[in-house]
Amino acid sequence: MTAPNDHDRYSRQIRFREIGEEGQRRLAEARVAVVGCGALGSTQAELLARAGVGFLRLIDRDYLEWSNLQRQSLYDEKDVAEALPKAAAAAARLKAVNSSIKVESAISDLTPANIDDLLEDVDLVMDGTDNFETRFLINDFALSKGIPWIYGAAVGSYGLKMPVIPGLTCCLRCMVPEAPGGSQETCETAGVIAPITATIASLQVADALIVLTGHRDQLARKLTIVDVWTGEIAQMEQRKPNPNCQACGKREFVYLNGKHRAPISLCGRCAVQIHDRDRHLDLKELASRLQSLGPVKVNEFALRAQIDGIDMTVFPDGRAILKGTTDVGMARSLYSKYVGN
């Protein structure tokens, strides 16, 4: 079958008056980073790829599990069986969906040390993350570079999204000055249903299309809250940048300037990520050391081992995810014991 030309592929989108030929050209020239390739990010990435965004960089630190398939439609059972990193599996799928765009994968945690390399050359950042520390880092970076980003979150049947346009709208820290303390609902404790993640991701992509096609003046500058179970939808007007906000007002980018990050318990999972390492590991050599302790799998992306009731995934840069505990101290101890200091 002959491959369609771009006009055929995007004909229905081009017929939408607000996009048209010029908007489609702008999309083809656009560069977007999707941070997090879980339920939100994988849907964002697919919609953006199908819309013809010319360059996508997919950034994710995690690997696929069976529980992902309930709401992450970009992946299939084969991806899970092979324990593929989400970013790699997503990139492979999107290249098959649209071969006319460029898709890059970065199997990495977004940190102050690598954020310049991963985000500096993009026009827009999409939030598919699962913790406020990373969102605050994106917020700091976007404000410092004048790059727009689209915040989103979902848990249970409830979710929210908000565009952040530096200089025009308030930023995330205007709305949430500090990460919420105490016990918070997660996908692990409250569950999550696919309609809310698909809804929030779609609303985020709609904002992205408005920004990327040059219609920022038409962007609804609002925090949108949706509950797909109760059918409730609410919106709150976004204020202008707050001059007293540490980030967009005072321009004190404390998350961007951080040199080290502590281990964190992963949202929605009984797991801890150890990511304050900067080292190169020979995964095959590590596999040979661990194989007598329990089942071990290794490929070019990561090593997975089951030891002492803990499912440990170790990446070539030394980062690790330990599933089976939320105790940061225990995770550090196991990392030191089996991977080394």
Residues identified as active-site:
187
**Is the alpha carbon torsion for 105, 111, 113, 119 positive or negative?**
positive
**166: which 2 tokens?**
């530096």
Could you give the C-alpha distances from 119 to 50, 122, 124, 149, in angstroms and in order? 22, 6, 9, 11
d(CA 35, CA 61): 9
d(CA 45, CA 47): 6
Cα angle for residues 319, 258, 242 (degrees, 5° grid): 130
d(CA 279, CA 180): 32
Q: Where are the alpha helices (DSSP H) in 113-222?
A: 115-119, 132-145, 172-175, 187-190, 194-212
**153: which 2 tokens?**
């979150």
Say which residues have a Cβ less than 8 Å from residue 253's Cβ, sequence separation at least 6. 140, 141, 143, 144, 247
Q: Rounded to a whole number, what is the distance in angstroms from the first to the last CA of the chain?
A: 55
**Which residue(s) pair with 311 in the sheet?**
306, 323
**Which residue(s) pair with 235 in the sheet?**
224
Long-range pairs for 298-303 at CB < 8 Å and ≥24 separation?
299/82, 299/83, 301/63, 301/84, 301/85, 301/88, 301/107, 302/63, 302/83, 302/85, 302/107
